Structure 1
Amino acid sequence: MQENTHIEVVSPVRSFRGSVRLPGDKSISHRYAMLAGLAKGTSKLANFSTGADPHSSLKCMEQLGATVRDEGGAVSVTGVGGTFAQPAGDLDCGNSGSTMRMLAGLVAPHAGTFRFVGDASLTKRPMERIRGPLQQMGARIDLTEGHAPMTVHGGPLQAIRFETPIASAQVKTAVLFAGLQANGLTELKESVRTRDHSEHALRAFGAELERDAEGVRIAGGQTLQAIEATVPGDLSSAAFFLCAALLFPESQLVLDDLGMNPSRSALLDVLVSMGLRLQVLNLEEKHGELIGTVQANGSADLKGAEISGSLSAQLIDELPVLAAVAPYTRTGVTIRDAKELRVKESDRIALVVRNLRNMGAEVEELEDGMIVPGGQTLHGGVIDSGDDHRIAMAFSIAALRASSDTAIHGAEAAAISFPEFFPLLRQLGAQ
């Protein structure tokens, strides 16, 4: 456990109630920032994510020649019109694997040398998965034992046909961003369909691409035009509050302007199967993304879930919080085929298991997941976030129904994706 970190004490509550509009979706904010930086003209992006990670993307775009301004509730990005400048120094991605992997694909077609660095956590995460396809296209990429620091030696690229070896929206995006600027038609095949924010974002900025059940095709040589857009509320951030609502029969939670992208709706399906009563009060489409207002109510009967196969890939970001609330369910939660959790900001499998045990839970650790029996009572405990935002937030939700206070060590990690998390948690939790 890290010393000199912030400790947030979370007390048990009786219910979870209120209405809130969440900060902009982190995944969409990343993509809008990068494409706006490459495009011609000035994009205005309202409700841009307040998380640190998408702001790492904005800072990198500034280093590449774009102009970024905070206009109070919105971000404006004046793009380079198709040609990035050679950065004066390293492109610092902070804690953001999304920035490093996706931006590598965007800069690879540009002449120059681009060195990517990040914090201690990011330098442990695998980058070989993007080097493979980008080098097939003609870029040269230097890694340090498969990790960052990473140097991209850019230049003219050739289109490829590529089948993703793992389910990763970041790898897909790196290839599509490179293919947008390559010579020829880039074809990408996915065995498991991943979230499609990149496809929608590319179309919003004026690119043409084709999508079918097997994959995506994009022609090179296309130019992008600036847009005005409002980023929908972040569904991955909403997952924590929806799980909190699930825990209490008296809960009533309303989330306004929430992103409802069908490629991420598996979370809502799972929560409903576990007992969450969910109503979508209105639904509209903007720039290809569905946005709705959601009302969620708890249930007296918390059912468990079995998550495996392609569902694990679809829920990879939400698995920690589903596991954290699993002891309170009637039949427990089993997670398999989620080995990717071990190479996130932390080894999320090991940390979830350790922290559940710190709160008195029985849990079996698997190489690719875990088995958390239901019908358990948790006590307050000391939680090690491992400097991982999703671990800090997941166990803050588990703490709401514990028998005593819980101390979240490294709570400041929540700011990576959701700086408003703890104030909103206190606002919505009824003592």
Structure 2
Amino acid sequence: MARVTDSVHGEVRVPGDKSVSHRALIFSAFASGTSRVRGILQSDDVKSTAGVLRTLGWAVPEVSAEMVIDGAGFTSRLPSPVSRLQCNNSGTTARLMAGVAAAQPFASTFVGDPSLSRRPMRRVSAPLEAMGARVEFPDGHDGLPMTIHGAPLRAIDWELPVASAQVKSAILLAGLCGRVPVRVREPAPTRDHTERMLAALGAGVTTRDGWIELQPADRLAPLDLDVPGDPSSAAFFVARALLADEGSLVVRHVLRSPFRDGFLHVVRRMGARIEEVRASTGSGERRDDLVVHAGSGLRAVAVGRDEVTSMIDEVPMLAVLAARAVGTTVVRGAEELRVKESDRIAAVVANLRAVGVEAEELPDGLVVHGTEAPLSGRVLTHADHRIAMAFGILGASRGCTITVDDPSCVAVSYPHFWEDLAHVAR
């Protein structure tokens, strides 16, 4: 009987980058003048940031493909107290907007869904308290709800104990809205969209001797921005092409950054053949088209903390890809995955085992033994969008019969994922 081949073809343009989309909304709301933002990610997480900004008094319209936003400066126009700030499942919303709330002249209570409420928030409350805000955790645990009593803030030099672009951004936003200088030092470099965008809009942001410094700004210039494609979303379609037997797939207008390129570096070490075609450079962000060739023949790799930092959101996809590589893949230095939307280390390993792959948990990572055997089973996403998409990619490849228990959870970051996945199959 003839062997059935798995082919990919055509092109896909993934949604706008989630990190850039959150920040585009926030900085547009703060700008002096009218901002225009195109291609923003129309996902549940980004809508949560828009909703919190509205609740705090900034006139942010409904999230759409082309947005016009009239900025109103750094201070809310609302009288106190402000109602609860609903962040739903968005950790970026909660942590970045915590920095904004710390500088407002009232108290704000951040709430979220059960998944977000379990994620650690004291890492962001500590520097804000050191700046002069008062933070309470009414339920007594390290998570939401979290009440921030805004206050006049003071300057701070803060060394982050854990590398976190969200906490770094919260401190920078507190300094921006509180009009005080701040300095932040990271144990390892993280995505730098906050710094790059603030500098492009006229704020005094510099990096010197490992410290990110922000000087008080009186105003921000309005944005005129085309949001580039999200590299974390692009990783799923890179993987889809690599798991196919033949064909090639073009992933259009993907954001490129040394702080976001870890996945591409690692899969190239696994044997991936990927061409990069420069698409454009706008608002200081490079965009490339990625041409990914099927049939590369993947081999196992070892991935350490230095690489994990620039691909933390893509580790679930890498682990699933490793299930089809020759040899044993080991990922270390990824303990931050345990406090994401789910315990992603535990979830990935349990689901790999459920579909027939040998895998083990490590305290800070995982081990995956590649196999060519047919894979089948039911995947439990724990309402985690990246678990759903990673195993959706595996299920779409030859020799796999995989059911995802909650396919709708992808709306957090990629509402049209399943339609795009069906589109690229030949």
Match of 2:67 among 63, 75, 78: 75
Q: Which residue of 2 aligns with 1:422?
A: 418
Q: How does 1:310-325 map to 2 (within 5 A)?
A: 310-325=306-321
Deviations, residues 215-243 of structure 1 (Å, cap 9, x unaligned): 30011244212211110011110011101
Structure 1: gaps (5+ residues) = 1-11
Q: Which residue of 1 aligns with 2:122?
A: 128
| Cα distance change of structure 1 residues 72 and 83 upon mapping to structure 2, 3 Å threshold | closer
1:360 and 2:356 are equivalent in the alignment:
yes
Query: Structure 1 length as normaliser, TM-score?
Result: 0.93
- 1:281–1:294 Cα contact (<8 Å) kept: yes
Match of 1:256 among 252, 262, 283: 252
| Cα distance change of structure 1 residues 197 and 13 upon mapping to structure 2, 3 Å threshold | farther
Q: Which residue of 1 aligns with 2:240?
A: 244
1:54 and 2:46 are equivalent in the alignment:
yes
Deviations, residues 77-109 of structure 1 (Å, cap 9, x unaligned): 222222113474211011000000011012211
Deviations, residues 349-382 of structure 1 (Å, cap 9, x unaligned): 1111111011111111111111101234242211
- 2:75–2:177 Cα contact (<8 Å) kept: no
Q: How does 1:111-122 map to 2 (within 5 A)?
A: 111-122=105-116
Q: CA separation in 2, counterparts of 1:20 and 1:300? A: 20
| Cα distance change of structure 1 residues 250 and 269 upon mapping to structure 2, 3 Å threshold | same
**Displacement, 1:40?**
2.1
Deviations, residues 328-353 of structure 1 (Å, cap 9, x unaligned): 10123211111111111011111111
**Displacement, 1:171?**
0.6
1:14 and 2:6 are equivalent in the alignment:
yes
- 1:159–1:182 Cα contact (<8 Å) kept: no
Q: CA separation in 2, counterparts of 1:410 and 1:192? A: 34
**Displacement, 1:19?**
0.8
1:294 and 2:286 are equivalent in the alignment:
no
Q: Secondary structure at the match of 2:145?
A: strand
**Displacement, 1:251?**
3.0
- 1:41–1:81 Cα contact (<8 Å) kept: no
Q: Which residue of 1 aligns with 2:148?
A: 152
- Aligned AA (1:180): L
Q: Which residue of 2 aligns with 1:7?
A: none
**Displacement, 1:184?**
4.2
Q: How does 1:86-125 map to 2 (within 5 A)?
A: 86=78, 88-125=82-119
Q: CA separation in 2, counterparts of 1:16 and 1:212? A: 46
- Aligned AA (1:282): R
Q: CA separation in 2, counterparts of 1:183 and 1:411? A: 44
- 1:159–1:220 Cα contact (<8 Å) kept: no
Q: Which residue of 1 aligns with 2:379?
A: 383
Q: CA separation in 2, counterparts of 1:429 and 1:332? A: 28
Q: CA separation in 2, counterparts of 1:282 and 1:29? A: 22
Q: Percent identity?
A: 38
Match of 1:32 among 24, 29, 53: 24
Q: CA separation in 1, counterparts of 2:42 and 2:328? A: 34
1:44 and 2:44 are equivalent in the alignment:
no
- 1:53–1:416 Cα contact (<8 Å) kept: yes
Query: Structure 2 length as normaliser, TM-score?
Result: 0.94
**Displacement, 1:404?**
4.1
Structure 2: gaps (5+ residues) = none
- 2:82–2:108 Cα contact (<8 Å) kept: no
Q: CA separation in 1, counterparts of 2:20 and 2:284? A: 11
Q: CA separation in 2, counterparts of 1:286 and 1:211? A: 21
Q: Secondary structure at the match of 2:74?
A: coil
- Aligned AA (2:401): D
- 1:377–1:402 Cα contact (<8 Å) kept: no
- 2:9–2:248 Cα contact (<8 Å) kept: yes
Q: CA separation in 1, counterparts of 2:236 and 2:55? A: 34
Aligned positions, number: 419
Q: CA separation in 2, counterparts of 1:134 and 1:71? A: 29
Q: Which residue of 1 aligns with 2:408?
A: 412
**Displacement, 1:401?**
2.9
> Which runs of 4 or more aligned residues in structure 1 lie more than 3 Å from their structure 2 counterparts after TM superposition?
85-88, 181-184
